[in-house]
Amino acid sequence: MYNPIPSLIAALGACTSPDPALRKAGEEALNQSKHARGQVVNLLRVSLEEGCDPAVRQVAAISFKNLVKRDWEAEGEALACMQLLGAAEAHLAGVRERASALPSSAEGKASPLAEEDKAAVRGVMVEGVTRAPHAVRVQLAECVRSLVYSDYPQHWPDLLPQDQARVSGALCVLRFLARKYEFRDEEERAPLEAVVNATFPSLLHIFQMLLAMDSSSPELAELLKLVCKTFWSATYMSIPAVLNQPEQFSGWMSCFHGLMTKPLPLDQLPADPDARKGWQWNKAKKWVMHIASRLFNRYGDPKLCSEKEDVAFAQRFQKECSLTFLQAALAQLAVLAQGGYQSPRVINLLLSYITQALAYSHTWKALKPYVEQMLLHVVFPLLCFDDEDAELWEDDPQEYIRKGYDIMEDIYSTKTAAMNFLHELCKARAKGNLDMLMAHLVGVLNEYQAAHPGAPVALARKMDGALLAIGTLSDVLKDKKPYSGQLEPMLVQHVVPLFESPHGHLRAKACWLAGHYADIEFQDGQGQGPTFAALLQRVMEDILWPILDRYTSSEGQDIFEEVMQLATYLTYFPPTISPRMWTLYPRMLQCVGDWAIDYFEEVLLPLDNFISKGTEVFLTSQTPNYLALTNQTLELVLCGDGYPEDQVVCAPRLMGVILQHCRGRVDQCLGPYLSLALRRLAPGVESQDLGDALMCVLGDALHYDAALALGALQAQGALQQALGALSTTIFASKKSGKMKHYTSPREKKVVTLGLISLIALPDAQLPPEVKPGMPQVTSAILRLLLALKQQQEEHKRRGSEAGSGNESDLEDESEEEEEEEEELSDEDDEVDDAYLKRLQRMAAKRAGAEDEDDDDDDDDDEYYSEDEVEETLHGIQHADPPRFAALVGGLEANVQAAVQGMMQYAAQLKEEQLQAAAAAANGHAVPPA
């Protein structure tokens, strides 16, 4: 009888020959016979034949694997499904079902492999994986996965072996079986539930047997890892019923604890750091810590569980395991304090476990005695700059910065895990711990200050860790006395000098830390005062330019917000903007147009700085033409489809920046800007913020040149429509009586200034259709001023209560005002009348008609808009009394009285300022009025 095995071995051997002709002949022979009856079985037999050449066995295993992956299932949708599963590691449970619904040109075409051959393969597959050498087992394990997904349970009901002696093969099969159902819903997981309940007792016995073995071989670690991964997949969605059996629960948890505390065979530790990532013992430790962290996270508190079975498991876990696992985690971390080794991923998971332990009183009590030693000898050293950091900083400092903002890096980073523990400890368990930690950090700061600039490398690395810790705790320190009052001296004494450090990583960390504390209240101004300006001016543009240059592009998508913050600082604080920085301007616009529309708000800040500080360059440059490029971006955003309204709102704000800072020099832009704004308003907008911002373009245009703006609106046939819409938004009210639109002080001021410019126009320049509505313009101005003053007073009251400070905060308070409006409606209706009376009273007081003791501590600079109104109305009153009478005569009596009071008050303030200036020039002091 013909035996095909010798010729098959010959062909396989030829495939390993160094002779290209022989290799080609062997490959052709295999290809011609790949679908022959018995070929797939024979390939498997050769791969398992112990007397055969190892190289031939490996080629046979590879050929078998390729044949199974390509031809085991029917072509078309089933094959496409397996390819998807292989590419995605079966990560999405529904891939097979979705793939089966796809049309296929080969739909219904049967597998070229005979069913009896496939049955023969299934019969020996598990045993084959068990006794194959590692090089062959790797290939066959992939085949097991393919067969599990394809054939179980319909075509392979006897998959699970009854003979548990075939340990390795059984584990491999169970792993792929559990993986198949890992992400399925409860109904689809029914086959797995039955298998788990049937096999987990035996699997536990195998686990116990493996842990009891007196061996440290990589093969043992591989088997332990397989057990853990099987448990992980089988319990991913829910706890199977078998684990609520007391002996099973105790057995599994004891095994996990045993693997957690099992010493690493460090004599086998690979010397190459990259090779250590694949070391089997590191992987086994990683997976057991994965399981411990997930169990603690899900079942650490029974009150957080809803299912009855989960509650029972959580109660047992809380009582029997949470403290035991915590002690094991602490013991593993203690190894680091003694100079021992743990893999970075394991360290990350160990810290994750003890961070979770801070949340529960029983685990916190157990953890508390070890906190100080762990902070000083484990957590803080992890924060410090190390050899790996130094190598990356030396090779690619930009990549070092980028990694600090990479979310995926954060997931696995030991530094991030240490930062999370530090922050959670000092926030949730601050008593005693925050003071102890800060004393240590201050000691490092002082030690470095004493040694600077000749500080040794080791001390510079400790200083880096101290800065990282202080930045991590920024939100805690800002709110915690006495630290909140010591932040400015800390920045000035310890951080500012680092901008000239010879250690580049310290310069970078100082920049990062300064950003975290940029919003604190400095003695000479909050955040943007001279102290902070001096602090940032110590950063040389030259240091940061490579980052800005590289990442102001699609390459910077992950850190674009931070890059724009750097650009904002470097265009705001220096006295002039360098030509090199100007090269970023068109690139920022290109980013917005291509992909960064979601970052338009961040891009707007440096654009504003460029235009306001470098107006001449902005307007006169022709190569590139910055104004033309800006206008192209404005048109793209306002006329394009699909842009989110919360980012489109930045386009009209950018128009306002140009009109405000380039008055009299961009007349050609006024009409197009108004046209773009009205065209965007025409179909309606869902966002009130966008609608108000577009109407503010009209306010900016009127303030830029009222006559030119009116003429442009007339030419577009939109004059009455635009002014009517503006009036409607100004007089629209909430139920409380407050203004519905223009919720920020900036918007109120922009519209007010535009209307003041409108009433300042002589009658001869007013279109006929506008003249009848001029008294209403006066009333609109007054309403805006009243609303602005009320908002400032509310902000001042809130600021005195919360210790807060600047006007920009008001923009964030509109939502809070909306929440309060129902309760404050009656009171709010009375505020306007109170303010009208108060204007009259202040004017009378200034004239000496009221008692000097009537307390009023309002800042004079808050009335700048009223000064302009007074000047405008006063000029009209003297130059054209009939027109003045027409402007105010139609107003209600109390509004007329308020206008008169405002004019008197503003005139008195101006007189006092003139007297003070004259006295100062003569060297005399003027007593207060």
Q: Would you say residue 857 has pLDDT above 70?
A: no
**Which whole number is the average pLDDT over 343-370?**
94
Q: How far apart are CA 911 and CA 907, in angstroms?
A: 6
- Kindly report the pTM of this predicted structure: 0.57
Residue 364 shares a structural domain with residue 436: no
Q: How confident is the model at residue 778 (pLDDT cuts 50, 70, 90)?
A: confident
Our CA angle for 409, 414, 416, nearest 5°, is 65
Kindly state whether residues 359 and 464 are assigned to the same domain. no
Do residues 566 and 695 both lie within one domain? yes
Quick check: 813 and 763 in contact, CB under 8 A?
no
Pair (404, 436) in one structural domain: yes
pLDDT in tens, 887-896: 776 666 767 7
> Are residues 283 and 398 located together in one domain of the fold?
no
Q: CA 337, CA 620: separation in Å to the nearest integer?
A: 63
- 260 falls within a domain: yes
Which of residues 368, 385, 409 is at a domain's end?
368
SS3 content of the chain, % helix, strand, coil (to 5): 75, 0, 25
Q: Are residues 147 and 186 in the same domain?
A: no
Q: What is the mean pLDDT of residues 638-648?
A: 86
Task: Tell which wins on pLDDT, 814 or 860.
Answer: 814
Half-sphere exposure for 320 (CA within 13 Å, toward CB): 16
Q: Does residue 352 form part of some domain? A: yes
Predicted confidence band of residue 819 (pLDDT cuts 50, 70, 90): very low
pLDDT of residue 160: 55
Question: What count of residues does the chain have?
Answer: 929
Which pLDDT score, from 0 to 100, does residue 315 have? 94
Q: Which two tokens stand for residue 546?
A: 């490579």
The residues that bridge with 521 in the sheet, in sequence order, are: 526
Residue 268 has pLDDT above 90, yes or no: yes
Is residue 525 within a helix (H) or strand (E), and if so which, with residue range?
strand 525-526
Q: What is the pLDDT of residues 403-441, one digit of tens each?
A: 776 666 677 889 999 999 999 999 999 889 999 999 999
Look at residue 428 and tell me if it is in a domain: yes
Classify residue 850: in a domain, yes or no: no
Last residue of a domain, one of 788, 807, 823: 788
Q: Residue 889: CA atoms inside 13 Å, Cβ hemisphere, count?
A: 8
CB 128 within 8 A of CB 48: yes
- Kindly state whether residues 363 and 254 are assigned to the same domain: yes
645 and 540, same structural domain? yes
Which range of 152-156, 205-209, 811-815, 843-847 scores highest in mean pLDDT? It is 205-209
Residue 309 is encoded by which pair of tokens? 């079975």
Higher per-residue confidence, 911 vs 233: 233
- In the chain, the number of structural domains is 5
pLDDT confidence of residue 444: 96
CA distance 425 to 431: 9
Per-residue pLDDT, 818: 43
Contact 397, 509 (CB under 8 A): no
pLDDT in tens, 271-310: 998 899 899 999 999 999 999 999 999 999 998 888 888 8
Q: How confident is the model at residue 866 (pLDDT cuts 50, 70, 90)?
A: low
Which tokens hold the place of 818? Answer: 């909306």
DSSP string, 635-681: HHHHH-SS--HHHHTHHHHHHHHHHHHSTTT-HHHHHHHHHHHHHHH
Euclidean distance between CA atoms 134 and 219, whole angstroms: 9
Q: Is 172 inside any structural domain?
A: no
How many whole angstroms separate alpha carbon 291 and alpha carbon 171?
17
Share of the chain above pLDDT 90, in %: 43
Query: With 70 as the cut, is the pLDDT of residue 886 above it?
Result: yes
Which residue segment(s) compose the domain that 320 sits in? 181-266+274-368
CA 790 to chain centre: 36
Averaged pLDDT for residues 154-162 = 67
- 256 and 384 housed in the same domain: no
In a domain, residue 684? The reply is: yes
Pair (152, 64) in one structural domain: yes
* Residue 883: band (very low, low, confident or very high) from pLDDT cuts 50, 70, 90: confident
What CA–CA distances, in Å, run from 604 to 516, 569, 580, 915? Answer: 21, 13, 19, 42
Q: Which amino acid is at 296?
A: F
Split at pLDDT 50, 70, 90, the class of 911 is confident
Name which of 560, 660, 657 is nearest 602 in CA terms.
Answer: 560
**39 within domain boundaries:** yes
Res. 837: pLDDT tops 60: no
Assess whether 359 and 401 both reside in one domain: no
Query: 135 and 232 share a domain?
Result: no
For residues 889 and 878, is the Cβ–Cβ distance under 8 A?
no
Out of 5-19, 460-474, 770-784, 915-929, pick the least confident. 915-929
Give pLDDT, residue 90.
Answer: 33
Q: What is the rounded CA–CA span in Å between residue 720 and residue 771?
A: 11
Bond into 453 cis (ω within 30): yes
**For the residues 653-667, what does the mean pLDDT come to?**
96
C-alpha 781/C-alpha 753 separation (Å) is 9
Task: Count other C-beta atoms under 10 Å from residue 435's C-beta.
Answer: 13
261 part of a folded domain: yes
**CATH number of residue 635's parent domain:** 1.25.10.10
